Structure 1
């Protein structure tokens, strides 16, 4: 199930060159699950690995889920203009390395960014031809259940995430397309179709 709402404002890249696809949505909506499934069944899609000052969670590997850096290293990346976008969330900073994204787009490789609302807005400003895809939960109650069921964060962090989710849900109209995450397989199929067709608007 999905609701497509093309805004028609983003210019289409030259024929044969993939369009950068940005996947965003509230925390807990299942973005990482969708991306993991997409990478498993379509390894030809390149997922940009973000840089973060957050400490690794159990099972996370440097260079796979994130490039983990300290604050000083992150400051240098920002100062040198090496990040396409960056934002602070829940006390940690996250950013997208610019050069790797541009190189793969120029080589004809479909590129997917999984980032938060702030990052999506920054990408829209710096790369207006990017297609912004909003991943929405089936309902607010379901989103709350997913956020509180993780068991990895304190009540204070969960409350911050819920507050951020309210803000993020209100920004849905800024995106080109909305996909409702009722099924990981269905959303993955729809997302791939968007990524592999430049002319979708």
Structure 2
């Protein structure tokens, strides 16, 4: 019988560096499996369906929620994100170590389900740097960036 894998949860405000940290971890340890979340948001830049996210419609997402297909899901900045129950269960059962790259809301939901999950919360280097990163993306208007900054401050306060 396989020894179950470990579950690592990397959470941070938008723009704080979750993706960069997870990419670095994957380069250091080829035995880590990253969970690909489902989202209703549009792809950014070079993102590909099934690689960074499973990009689905709001209706598809709601159906998956109703069917209990997600361990956790949340609405973040007007988009929905969810972690597939089936994909995580299968990988952990096979003894794989799995990394989830999710927001703080999702991390709390996962910790309730998996008390032995390792939670890693990334703080932004500074508030000014976080704002610069969000601005450099070139995808959001100033009002949306401000909303993300407010949300980030709330997440950091909750994580402490």
TM over 0.5: same fold? yes
Q: Please provide the CA RMSD for this pair.
A: 1.6
TM-aligned CA deviation for residue 101 of structure 1: 0.5
Partner of 1:5 in structure 2?
Answer: none
Partner of 1:133 in structure 2?
Answer: 120
How many angstroms apart in 2 are the aligned matches of 1:82 and 1:63? 17
How many angstroms apart in 2 are the aligned matches of 1:82 and 1:102? 11
Q: Does 1:168 align with 2:155?
A: yes
How many angstroms apart in 2 are the aligned matches of 1:59 and 1:138? 25
How many angstroms apart in 1 are the aligned matches of 2:135 and 2:50? 28
CA displacement 1:43-72 (0-9 Å, x = unmatched): 321000000011112211000010011111
Partner of 1:82 in structure 2?
Answer: 69
Partner of 1:112 in structure 2?
Answer: 99
TM-aligned CA deviation for residue 18 of structure 1: 2.7
Q: Equivalent residue of 2:122, what SS?
A: strand
Q: 1:150 aligns with which of 132, 137, 140?
A: 137
Q: Does 1:103 align with 2:123?
A: no
Partner of 1:61 in structure 2?
Answer: 48
How many angstroms apart in 1 are the aligned matches of 2:152 and 2:16? 9
How many angstroms apart in 2 are the aligned matches of 1:154 and 1:61? 23
Q: 1:30 aligns with which of 17, 20, 24?
A: 17
Flag as ranges the 4+ runs of structure 1 deviating above 6 A: none
Gaps of 5+ in 1: 1-14, 174-201
Query: How many residue pairs get matched?
Result: 159
- Normalising by the residue count of structure 2, what TM-score does the alignment of the two structures yield? 0.92
TM-aligned CA deviation for residue 16 of structure 1: 4.1
TM-aligned CA deviation for residue 158 of structure 1: 0.6
CA displacement 1:168-187 (0-9 Å, x = unmatched): 111223xxxxxxxxxxxxxx
CA displacement 1:103-139 (0-9 Å, x = unmatched): 1111111100000011111112222221111111232
